[in-house]
Structure 1
Amino acid sequence: MHIVILHNRDHDLLEDDPGREAREDVMRVASALSEALSRGDTHAEPLAVEGDRLDFVDTLRRMQPDLVINLCESVAADSRGEMVIPCLLDMMGLPYTGSSALSLGLALHKPKAKELLRGRGVSTPPFAVVERLEDVMSVDLAFPLIVKPAREDASVGVDFDSVVEDRAGLARAAEAVLSTFHQPALVEQFIRGREIYVPLLGNAPRRALPLTEIRFGAAFENRPNIVSYKAKWEEDSPECQDSPSVPCRLEDTALEARLVRTAMDAFTALDCVDYGRVDLRVTPEGVPYVIDINPNCDLHPGAGFAKAAAAAGMDYPALAARLVEIALERAHGNPSHRKKGPGAARSAHPQNRNVLAGRGGVRRRAGGSRAHAE
């Protein structure tokens, strides 16, 4: 089997990139998956999406891999480009791991995701959107609040100052988002309590891996218990060292079932598939609130998802192999209990899946021409 591990390589594209560490990490994930999967008759090789170039499209068309593992979280250092990749893979008719462009786009557009969650009856903190600094005066939410970029992930733009106790602090935090990220600020009611993650794996059936929790240590005394960008990516920072991800110990089985059900409902609401993680804040009274949905979560062997899989008895090579199997099952329409081995039949591809078949590439717009994409 030939597998291509597609990942962004754009961490050094911008001189001042507030998400540089997160963008750089994906290359280490690609390397780890390549090593884990390349055994026997399986060859897995990384392929980078360089800046805003689309050369990888022609490369993939020549290679025609059996599967693409999609690790791309941005294009040209812009997180909004994440949804471009599944669109192109769909147009080429190549099966890939993870969620569709629609799901990735919804998860990244946090206000739209929250509107959808509320419409489906999934608990999420009350929120408002600040598009201009003047909008701060019309925010009608109970303090404390947390302010973050509306269209970023990986805790980009989140620090201790993101949690505010009054309108003056709200104005400062919103102005920082507007001026740094040039996008709206999402303002949410800050939920005091535990931060618990629910890793999800599979489609039919979908299962929850063992839950994990952030243990906030000394660096968070008298400060907001939040996973800031430093806590997530700057390994030498006190915030990172004092906020490890640990197994979640819940003696209340009913509460655990409620957390898993909430995460499952959130994942379904955004039509996510294959794997991902739902982040929850849980009040002392046991009320869960969805604060983020990560359909393209970190698959590094040292990250929380792989640790949760290990707690379920699945080492990293086994997890990598299972991700491949799940994606192929979904792409080819076979259930996980299908007959395996030589001669095992697969269902036919859906009609019109490959809209580029026989067309010699992406169609040009009428009246326009372009020799190549830069």
Structure 2
Amino acid sequence: MKKLRVMMVVHYTLVPPDDLRDKSDPRMEKFRTEYDVKNALINLGHEVQVVGVYDDLAPIRKTNEGWKPHIAFNLLEDFAGNSAFDYYVVSYFEMMRIPYTGCNPRGLLLARDKALTKMILTYHRISGPDFDVFRLGRKISRRRKFTYPLIVKSLTEEGSVGIAKASYVENEDQLRERVALIQDKLHGDAIAEQYIDGRELYVTVLGNTKLEILPIRELVFDNVEPGTPKMATYKVKWDDKYRERWGIHYQFARNLPDGMEQRIAHLCKRVYHLLDMNGYGRVDFRVAADGELHVLEANPNPGIARDEDCSQSAIKSGLSYEDFIQRILQLGLTWRTTE
């Protein structure tokens, strides 16, 4: 295996401290993705320079000119504090002809906008929840008729940001109130989606053209009372103690109906290609009681800390965590060439 100079690009507040070593260190939670990826790269024998970025591309240019990295390992989730601008940095990589990991600019644009994603998939007859978009600065009014209940969330934010129990709305007054809160709190557009009761599955996809579907993960709600909505809220996503209290946990999907894994794999590949994604991504599903698959969203560059769903699926498939990181590197190096 060729040893590489890897420029690891992160948010400027997420440059892992050099003295961060102990897993029990309280700082580890903040830097866990950056720490895990950096150490995996070092364990693989690569040379790593971490570059922190906020709203200026100069640090990338300086490192590229002075160090000549073979590839940029892109861990940025926003630019200038705006998640919708993450494709700016990737576009700069392309312009400077710097190989990089993860999704290309077009794929980021298509998949980050949840409404645009749904319109593309609907056009291609891929099922998903009905929805409506509420633009910031415009009067909050419904343009479409759909059946309550609905889930209200940010149009572009990832990681369940802005999703709480109150995101589940059952009438127009609640809808207006929650849309206004999302717009005010997150300074952006909101989307309301039909709530689909059922199993929630997360499927990791690896590849550029030839795709590999990794073992399916599921978010399980064991202690939720009947009639209570099952949602991946921000607390569910990020609060271990909250999940423990309510019997919510992630596991590999069990007892899927015959043929469903194959259906899911086929559908994931269609979604991934239709949205022009590459590198690695995750497709989220709801499986309704009648067995119909509904695509909730597609996530380019999902979380890849050692304990994240994508990494756990890779390990379940037979890769070590370091193998997984090396595979992501290789996909970045071969993007726009061959795999």
Would you call these one fold, judging by a TM-score over 0.5?
A: yes
Go from structure 1 to structure 2 and tell me whether the alpha carbon gap of 1:302 and 1:314 turns closer, same or farther (over 3 Å shift): same
1:7 counterpart = 2:10: yes
The equivalent of 2:85 in structure 1 is 81
How many Å apart are 1:156 and its aligned residue? 0.7
The equivalent of 2:217 in structure 1 is 212
Q: Are the aligned partners of 2:114 and 2:156 in contact in 1 as well (CA < 8 Å)?
A: yes
Go from structure 1 to structure 2 and tell me whether the alpha carbon gap of 1:45 and 1:223 turns closer, same or farther (over 3 Å shift): farther
1:181 counterpart = 2:186: yes
Which of 302, 323, 332 is the equivalent residue of 1:297?
302
1:31 counterpart = 2:35: yes
Question: For residues 131-210 of structure 1, what are the structure 2 equivalents within 5 Å?
Answer: 131=135, 134-210=139-215
How many Å apart are 1:190 and its aligned residue? 0.8
1:67 counterpart = 2:99: no
Provide structure 1 residue ranges, at least 5 long, that are not aligned to the other structure.
12-23, 336-374
How many Å apart are 1:217 and its aligned residue? 3.0
Structure 2 letter corresponding to 1:99: C
TM-score scaled by structure 1? Answer: 0.80
1:116 counterpart = 2:129: no
Q: Are the aligned partners of 2:12 and 2:51 in contact in 1 as well (CA < 8 Å)?
A: no
State how far apart, in whole Å, the 2-side matches of 1:249 and 1:192 are: 18
Q: Are the aligned partners of 1:36 and 1:316 in contact in 2 as well (CA < 8 Å)?
A: yes
In angstroms, what is the RMSD of aligned CA positions? 2.2
SS in 1 for 2:157: coil
Q: How many matched pairs? A: 322
SS in 1 for 2:88: helix
How many Å apart are 1:219 and its aligned residue? 5.5
Spell out, residue by residue over 1:169-213, the C-alpha distance to the aligned partner (whole angstroms, 9 max, x if none).
111111111221222210111111000011111234211000010
Structure 2 letter corresponding to 1:127: F
After superposing the two structures, state which structure 1 stretch, 302-311 or 164-173, moved more: 164-173
State how far apart, in whole Å, the 2-side matches of 1:273 and 1:47 are: 23
State how far apart, in whole Å, the 2-side matches of 1:8 and 1:158 are: 23
How many Å apart are 1:82 and its aligned residue? 0.9
After superposing the two structures, state which structure 1 stretch, 125-134 or 166-175, moved more: 125-134
Go from structure 1 to structure 2 and tell me whether the alpha carbon gap of 1:238 and 1:212 turns closer, same or farther (over 3 Å shift): closer
Question: For residues 91-110 of structure 1, what are the structure 2 equivalents within 5 Å?
Answer: 91-110=95-114
Provide structure 2 residue ranges, at least 5 long, that are not aligned to the other structure.
15-27
How many Å apart are 1:137 and its aligned residue? 4.2
Q: Give me the identity figure in percent.
A: 27
Structure 2 letter corresponding to 1:8: H
Question: For residues 124-135 of structure 1, what are the structure 2 equivalents within 5 Å?
Answer: 124-131=128-135, 134-135=139-140
Question: For residues 353-368 of structure 1, what are the structure 2 equivalents within 5 Å?
Answer: none
Go from structure 1 to structure 2 and tell me whether the alpha carbon gap of 1:241 and 1:207 turns closer, same or farther (over 3 Å shift): farther
Go from structure 1 to structure 2 and tell me whether the alpha carbon gap of 1:248 and 1:177 turns closer, same or farther (over 3 Å shift): same
Which of 307, 310, 318 is the equivalent residue of 1:313?
318
Structure 2 letter corresponding to 1:276: G
Question: For residues 268-287 of structure 1, what are the structure 2 equivalents within 5 Å?
Answer: 268-287=273-292
TM-score scaled by structure 2? Answer: 0.88
SS in 2 for 1:244: strand
Question: Which structure has the larger Rg?
Answer: 1
Go from structure 1 to structure 2 and tell me whether the alpha carbon gap of 1:159 and 1:27 turns closer, same or farther (over 3 Å shift): same
SS in 2 for 1:99: coil
Spell out, residue by residue over 1:265-296, the C-alpha distance to the aligned partner (whole angstroms, 9 max, x if none).
11111100011100011101111111111111
Q: Are the aligned partners of 2:44 and 2:322 in contact in 1 as well (CA < 8 Å)?
A: no
SS in 2 for 1:153: coil
Spell out, residue by residue over 1:137-195, the C-alpha distance to the aligned partner (whole angstroms, 9 max, x if none).
44411111111111211111111111111112111111111221222210111111000
- Show structure 1 runs of 4+ deviating over 6 A: none
Go from structure 1 to structure 2 and tell me whether the alpha carbon gap of 1:271 and 1:212 turns closer, same or farther (over 3 Å shift): same
Structure 2 letter corresponding to 1:105: L
State how far apart, in whole Å, the 2-side matches of 1:129 and 1:25 are: 34
